[in-house]
Structure 1
Amino acid sequence: MYHRDRSPCSALAVSRSVERPRAAVLLLHGGHEYGTSAPGAWNLPAARMVPFERAVRRATKEHDVLIGRVRYRCRGWNGGRADAAHDAERALHELARVAGDVPTVLVGHSMGARAALRAAGGAHVRGVVGLAPWCPPEDSVRHLDGRHVVLLHGDRDRVTDPKASADFLARARAAGADASFVEMRGSGHAMLRRSAAWHELTTSAVTGLLGLTPLSSPFTGEGRLLSGA
């Protein structure tokens, strides 16, 4: 059995270890545009991902799936430093040492989704599930060729832009990604309204992308733009 790495220098915090992992899920919580101080032991962006982690645990309980979280050095993205993206890449390298060459899905919210999308070129990354993602138009999509990208975004989000997510998906699709967008009607950035639907769609995407269950209809069909899920 693998032990959780509590080293402050580690970018990976393993929350569910298995003896012989067949797949892995890595969760990335949100943050701030700027901020160089370290996140506290308990903070709201991290708390928002707790029910998603629980849902993924339940959905994968019959499978040998390692679950981990990215541990950020800084609260913020911090412009060209892209601190969260570098932490995501470090966590993926650590995950490969712990779990081996297993298919991996990244699940990120807001800044965490941006970091996940940036790190999705990693050798073992099967796909990304982005929740209310931060998708600036300058972010590259070339490395997403051959990857699965699923973005869920509330139409009442006032923190990150649903249209920017749809535009990002269109660019990713043109670059060769298998990409789907789901508009969560009536929901905002905190994902509290229709939370059950958020959790169900996220876990369905994760298990489908890992090949544990059939990929459900909202995430199939190349080039589909979906709304009203």
Structure 2
Amino acid sequence: MRVLLVEDSPRLQRSLGAALRKSGYAVDIAGDGEQGLWLAETNSYDAVVLDIMLPKLDGLSVVRQLRAKGRDTHILLLTAKDTVDDRVRGLADGADDYLVKPFALEELLARVHALCRRTYGGKSTSICVAGLELNTSSKTVKRGEHIVDLLPREYRLLEYLAARTGQVVTRTEIETHIYDDLATPMSNVVDSAICALRKKIGNERIRTRRGLGYIFG
């Protein structure tokens, strides 16, 4: 899953970016509203974490412009203003959720994950497919009664493939939604990740469509 963080505080950029990456997300970071708007318009994100108080262009203006251009990416607003009017205005402009500063890091991660689930039409915290059970809340995978030991990014890759069961998922889509600066045109990071995942869940669950991509299920 790929997330855009738009936040002007270097401290929050570092802490939130590190926490999101540790949870397995690919993360792009912008330090002002204009850069955030440009990134959100030119890339495909599963969620955007957007501070309201930003230099050059405030967060609410970013939301309005994205919605006016038909971009339906799920947006979590970060606000230091805990008044009903501010929250209502943000939601009315097109934001999907809000979080008031200061907040617990665990709550932000939970809200981002909930927005990413919405992207693929999932509300349940359990995905059962191909003999596996994914718990999207605890980020665990079971095969029968046994827990499959996955690294965070391996889990994210599996969850992304499982959300698109039966569909061809291209290398580019995986690079876009799971990786950030780790993937380059000459990189084999996707091939390596698929190989590692197959070893843990079984080769038969991920099929290769040569020249097209991968099919899970």
Larger-gyration structure (1/2): 2
Which of the two has greater helix per residue? 2
Query: Which TM-score applies when normalising by structure 1?
Result: 0.40
Query: Which TM-score applies when normalising by structure 2?
Result: 0.42
